[in-house]
Amino acid sequence: MNATQNNEARKTARPAPAKPRTDLGKGWLGKTLAGTFCGLAIALIASGFFMLPDTKYNTVFDKYQIAMWMVPPIWLAVLSFCYLFRDALRAWLWLGGASVAGFALFKVLAP
């Protein structure tokens, strides 16, 4: 196929039904809330995993302070990228699901 044909093919392909553009701004409030609350929950759970196996009878000095320090970066990361979900419901389901599953797993693993 030469270049002209290639262009022809592209031209004919263009009018094909364009994929409807998703407006990610729709549901921004719901997404922001999901990112804020679930992001905080996920960050706290991550700090819980970090503390394993020292949540009790810890012998590592100052480790618990690092566990506090790691919460804001993870929180901000989840909040920053929650807008990439197609809508607010999906944001809540994914992030909320991750929070619940993460917390359950933490409780199983925690001493």
Partner 1 sequence: MKIRKEVLDIYKAVHTWTGIVAGLALFIAFYAGALTVFKHDLAAWVAAPVQDTRPVDLHDADRLMEETLRARPDAAEDLTLTLRATDAQPAQLSWQSPDGARQYLANFDASGQLVINEREPTAVADLIDNLHRTAGFVPGSVEAGILVIGFIAMMYGLALVSGLIILLPSLVKDLFALRPGKNLKLMWKDAHNALGFFSLPFHLVIALTTVVFAFHDQIYDTQDVFIYEGAMMDQWTMPAPRVQVPSLAAKAGGPPAAQGTQLVPPALMLADLRELSPGFEPHYMDYHDLDSERPSVRIHGVDPNYMMRYDAFAIMHPYTGEMINASYLPGYTDGWTSWLTVFFALHFATFGGAAVQWIYFLLAIAGAFLFYSGNLLWIESRRRRAQDKGLPEQKTSVRVMSALTVGVCLGCIAGVSASLVAGKWLHGNVASLNTWHVIVYYAVFFLSIAWAFLRGASRGAVELLWLCVAATAAIPLTSLIGWLAPATGLWANPSSAARGVDVGALAGAACLAWMALATRRRQKHGQPDSVWALARA
The separation between CA 8 and the C-alpha centre of its own chain, rounded to angstroms, equals 42
Q: Which is nearer to partner 1, 8 or 107 (CB)?
A: 107
Q: Does 48 bind partner 1 (CB under 8 A)?
A: yes
Q: Which is nearer to partner 1, 73 or 97 (CB)?
A: 73
Please give the backbone phi and psi of residue 2, each rounded to the nearest 5 degrees, phi first. Answer: -90, 180
Q: Does 100 bind partner 1 (CB under 8 A)?
A: no
- Residues 34, 91: contact at Cβ < 8 Å? yes
Quickly count: other Cβ atoms within 10 Å of residue 46's Cβ.
Answer: 19
Q: Does 97 bind partner 1 (CB under 8 A)?
A: no
- Residues 82, 32: contact at Cβ < 8 Å? yes
| Residue 12 C-beta: closest distance to partner 1, Å | 24
Name the residues that contact partner 1, by CB under 8 A: 21-25, 28, 44, 47-48, 51, 55-58, 60-69, 71-73, 75-76, 79-80, 83-84, 103, 106, 110
